[in-house]
Amino acid sequence: MTPPSKIRNIAIIAHVDHGKTTLVDTLLRASGNFRENQAIAERAMDSMDLEREKGITIKAKNTSVHWNDHIINIVDTPGHADFGGEVERVMKMVDGVMLVVDAYEGPQAQTRFVLKKAMQQGIKPIILINKMDRPHIEPAKVHDKVLELLMELEATEEQFNAPFIYGSARAGWVTDKPDGEQKDMTFILEQIVKHIPEPKAELEGSFEMLVSNIDWDNFVGRVSIGKVTRGTVKLGDRVFLLGKTPEEKPQGFKVTKVFQYTTLTTSDSVEGGAGDIVGISGIENVDIGQTIAGAADAPALPFVAIDPPTIVMQFAVNDGPLAGREGEHVTSRKIRDRLDREQKMNVTLSFKDTDTAGIFDVSARGAMQIAVLVEQMRREGFEVLVSRPMVITKRIDDVVCEPFETLYLDVPDDYLGPVMKSISERKGRIEDMNAHNGRTTVQAYIPTRGLIGFEFELMNLTSGHGIHSHLFREYAPHAGHMQTRSSGTLVSTEAGEATSYALDTIQIRGKLFVTAGDQVYDGMIIGENPRTDDLPVNPTRAKQLTNFRAAGGDKGIQLTPPMKFSLERAIEYIAPDELVECTPKNLRLRKRTLDSSQRQREKKKMEAEIEAAG
């Protein structure tokens, strides 16, 4: 068994796309833990299909590197703010962090967020300025920016004097100075052993561990992952899961397996020792933040406070005419069980029942986080309706308050005007602006509502050259009405198969979301109307055949290719009275109320209410 003095626990934190997962790849290779001829996938730690497709880390995952006589446990964390809860909870498992910063972009908004969490825990950082092989890099400037950031976050003297390393994780070299001699990646492992303290753990005494992560194993069920802070644990031990509150009684369990995470595999270790990060199975109803101890009367360990969710979306049973054709799981019971499972695995996500049967309110950090959950559910065979994200408002001193965020933008000077106009329409307020090398960085204070759908608009306004990131700041008084979508929709009035004959006349009115041969139904949104109102159309109309009109007469019809939405884009695009129907094979946009005459009645009723109030 390895003593705590030979163990190092470190989390790798950074902004999206600054090279965390690539760095873990090169550290695993450098440690000599692989065979010479072993095939290793690129970004090996991105184990989920969605992580590979999107190129981002979604779940925090841990591995360990055996180097010389040391064990270095490495936790790869997400860089996107929506998955910030993953970072917050792993801070209890580690004793140091490696902050990876892009040598060109410097520290970004999410960098500030994750580093702040580490600083609050008193964790010591090592800073790696990555991507030194890129053109136009400014390592000296980035070095100063990181020091400024540490000062802003009120770092202690020890944290402020953190060692700096320069290098390229992709090219596999590092150095201690921007123009220093290039060394291999074992230099980073040396620095981790030298600068990161050994874990605070007691070898003697009864077993104690805080659950910081939960995994699932097909053979043994739930696996509780955490750092052993005292004692040891082995197969067959009797342990106690302490209650979430002092009143809750501890429950006794038998350990069915102890897991150790080495390179890209998990091994069934005989014993988990003090200071090491291990997984324990045999405890079914465990939640993140609970303490597992060897004695029933042991005190519970403190858990890191998690920032509250700011966004809520409705999940509902698919009640459309095409329901049940593609998915296996379509009932509210199945959806509830799936959400319950997700809630146990993810501390920042929660759901509750609404007054209407089959509709659930799901709260999370951001639309991206919920979109990832919906995408996973689609792939598992679920059919579900999801609404547009709404912010969670609070009453503070009898004033309705909503969440506000700090928005950081980096846009080319040529596109600055339209971007500023968009920010002001979304109730944003500019706080700081700096021009540099043909680009302008903007810092704005904006309601979270204003950020829904902003990413896509920024892409269009800047031809894909705009970079943005945002960070939750505070709850402040409600900013008032906001119009984020200026267009209306083309709504189908009939059910059936869309025909090219009908779509040819409809495409003159706006952009189409469907093409000939697609199934449509009454109340389904089949296109965008440039005007603000909804236009009822019949996409199923067929050509009347007579002696003069031959069936093959519409061969020359040229339909414009339809607009195809990604799930995130669809969720942000819809209006409050619309839903996205998510099935394993299709994404459809539809009205909440499918019946057109019923919608007309509701519209008139609402207009009458507004008139009466006015």
Contact present, 51 and 41 (Cβ < 8 Å) = no
The answer to whether 252 is annotated as binding is: no
Ranking 31-35, 137-141, 293-297, 475-479 by mean pLDDT, the lowest is 31-35
Distances (CA, A) of 238 to 139, 233, 241, 251, 253: 53, 9, 10, 10, 6
- At 525 the pLDDT is 92
**pLDDT, tens digit, 9 for 90 and up, residues 151-172:** 888 888 888 888 888 888 888 8
- At 30 the pLDDT is 67
Task: Select from 164, 195, 226 the last residue of a domain.
Answer: 195
Is the same domain home to 189 and 229?
A: no
Share of the chain above pLDDT 70, in %: 86
Is the same domain home to 493 and 462?
A: no
Query: Which element (helix H / strand E) includes 234?
Result: strand 233-234
What's the CATH code of the domain at 233? Answer: 2.40.30.10
Confidence of residue 39 (pLDDT cuts 50, 70, 90): very low
Q: What's the rounded mean pLDDT across residues 567-576?
A: 86
Is the same domain home to 153 and 30?
A: yes
Q: What is the mean pLDDT of the chain?
A: 81
- Residues near 143 by Cβ (< 8 Å), separated by ≥ 6? 129, 164
Between helix 139-152 and helix 109-120 the angle, nearest 10°, is 50
Positive or negative, the CA dihedral 526, 531, 532, 537 is negative
Contact present, 125 and 98 (Cβ < 8 Å) = yes
Share of the chain above pLDDT 90, in %: 8
- At 40 the pLDDT is 44
What's the CATH code of the domain at 507? Answer: 2.40.50.250
- Nearest by Cα to 96 from 112, 73, 64: 73
Confidence of residue 599 (pLDDT cuts 50, 70, 90): confident
- At 35 the pLDDT is 44
The answer to whether 329 is annotated as binding is: no
| Chain Cα centroid distance, residue 439 | 28
**pLDDT, tens digit, 9 for 90 and up, residues 238-271:** 888 887 777 788 888 888 888 877 654 455 666 7
What's the CATH code of the domain at 404? Answer: 3.30.70.240
Query: Residue 359 domain-assigned?
Result: no
Is the same domain home to 178 and 248?
A: no
Can you point out the beta strands (E) in 56-145?
A: 61-67, 70-76, 96-102, 124-130
**pLDDT, tens digit, 9 for 90 and up, residues 444-455:** 999 988 888 888
Query: Residue 500 domain-assigned?
Result: yes
∠ at Cα 543 (542, 548), nearest 5°? 160
∠ at Cα 77 (76, 78), nearest 5°? 135
Confidence of residue 276 (pLDDT cuts 50, 70, 90): confident
Query: Residue 44 domain-assigned?
Result: yes
Task: Select from 130, 162, 195 the last residue of a domain.
Answer: 195
The answer to whether 468 is annotated as binding is: no
Is the same domain home to 449 and 503?
A: no
- At 52 the pLDDT is 47
- Given a cut of 50, whether residue 554 has pLDDT beyond it is yes
Q: What's the rounded mean pLDDT across residues 549-570?
A: 75
Contact present, 529 and 518 (Cβ < 8 Å) = no
What's the CATH code of the domain at 133? Answer: 3.40.50.300
Is the same domain home to 145 and 14?
A: yes
Is the same domain home to 188 and 215?
A: no
DSSP labels for 416-461?
HHHHHHHHHHTT-EEEEEEEETTEEEEEEEEEHHHHTTHHHHHHHH
Is the same domain home to 122 and 162?
A: yes
- Given a cut of 80, whether residue 526 has pLDDT beyond it is yes
35: phi > 0 → left, psi -120 to 50 → alpha, else beta; which? beta
Q: What's the rounded mean pLDDT across residues 199-226?
A: 80
Query: Residue 220 domain-assigned?
Result: yes
- Nearest by Cα to 360 from 381, 382, 340: 340
Query: Residue 377 domain-assigned?
Result: no
Is the same domain home to 139 and 181?
A: yes
Is the same domain home to 149 and 261?
A: no
- Given a cut of 50, whether residue 45 has pLDDT beyond it is no
Confidence of residue 376 (pLDDT cuts 50, 70, 90): confident
**Distance (Å, rounded) from C-alpha 35 to C-alpha 31?**
11
Q: What's the rounded mean pLDDT across residues 561-576?
A: 86
Pick the more confident residue, 54 or 573: 573
∠ at Cα 175 (172, 178), nearest 5°? 115
Three-state SS at 330: coil
Pick the more confident residue, 368 or 538: 538
Is the same domain home to 28 and 146?
A: yes
- Given a cut of 80, whether residue 546 has pLDDT beyond it is no
The answer to whether 49 is annotated as binding is: no
Q: What is the DSSP letter of 248?
A: S
Three-state SS at 379: helix
- Residues near 94 by Cβ (< 8 Å), separated by ≥ 6? 9, 10, 11, 73, 75, 123, 227
Give me the domain span that covers residue 470: 394-477
Task: Select from 477, 509, 532 the last residue of a domain.
Answer: 477
The answer to whether 229 is annotated as binding is: no
**Distance (Å, rounded) from C-alpha 499 to C-alpha 480?**
43
Query: Which element (helix H / strand E) includes 20?
Result: helix 20-30
The answer to whether 184 is annotated as binding is: no
Is the same domain home to 535 and 591?
A: yes
**Distance (Å, rounded) from C-alpha 303 to C-alpha 185?**
34
- At 38 the pLDDT is 45
Distances (CA, A) of 164 to 99, 142, 542: 10, 11, 69
Domains of the chain: total: 4
Query: Residue 257 domain-assigned?
Result: yes
Query: Residue 306 domain-assigned?
Result: no
Query: Residue 225 domain-assigned?
Result: yes
**Distance (Å, rounded) from C-alpha 236 to C-alpha 546?**
82
